[in-house]
Structure 1
Amino acid sequence: MTANESSAPAVDTVTVAYSVSGMSCGHCEKAVSEELSALPGVVSVAADAKAGRVSVTATAVLSDDAVRAAIDEAGYELTGRA
């Protein structure tokens, strides 16, 4: 194995940014991130309350309905893809 190879298989991912209304602080970011992270296939979530955006990296494109439900469960509103 060379220095550029890793023992983990490569996983193709896709990142989609969403606009979310109602987030205003770190607690908001954490709540949204936790709900989205629980969706199948999600690799990482980056929420930015100030910008009102959430970037979700997953192994496949998530359905907007699943993303909307997770954000709704956290107490916020998905306003669309950013």
Structure 2
Amino acid sequence: MKTEFIVSDMTCNHCVQTITRAVRDVAPDAAVQIDLAAHRVAIESSADAAVLRAAIAEEGYDVQPG
């Protein structure tokens, strides 16, 4: 299942790495695609969207449905 989020406060490659790691911590099989310029995170995973969103939010990011 594909889930998309807007992470408006994602600003650099460190953010990309942090978000990718957070997602893979809860969904090791996840395919994560990040468009830094558009602040968009697309995740292909069987994990529940709420779990994915919570993992990103726990890192301190503002996560909205995409």
Decide: shared fold, TM above 0.5.
yes
Query: Is 1:39 equivalent to 2:26 in the alignment?
Result: yes
TM-score, scaled relative to structure 2: 0.80
- 1:56 is matched with which residue? 43
Larger Rg: 1
Task: Report the identity percentage.
Answer: 27
Q: 1:62 to 1:41 in 2, by over 3 A?
A: farther
Query: Is 1:78 equivalent to 2:58 in the alignment?
Result: no
Query: What is the root-mean-square deviation in Å for CA atoms of aligned residues?
Result: 1.7
Confirm or deny: 8 A CA contact 1:46 1:54 kept in the other structure. Answer: yes
Confirm or deny: 8 A CA contact 1:17 1:55 kept in the other structure. Answer: yes
- Hey, which bits of structure 1, 4+ residues long, moved more than 4 A? none
Q: Distance in 2 between matches of 1:71 and 1:30?
A: 11
Q: CA deviation at 1:35?
A: 0.1
Higher normalized contact order (CA 8 Å, seq sep 6+, divided by chain length): 2
Q: Distance in 1 between matches of 2:49 and 2:3?
A: 11
- 2:2 is matched with which residue? 15
Confirm or deny: 8 A CA contact 2:27 2:47 kept in the other structure. Answer: no
Q: CA deviation at 1:21?
A: 1.9
TM-score, scaled relative to structure 1: 0.67
Q: Structure 2 stretches of 5 or more lacking a match?
A: none
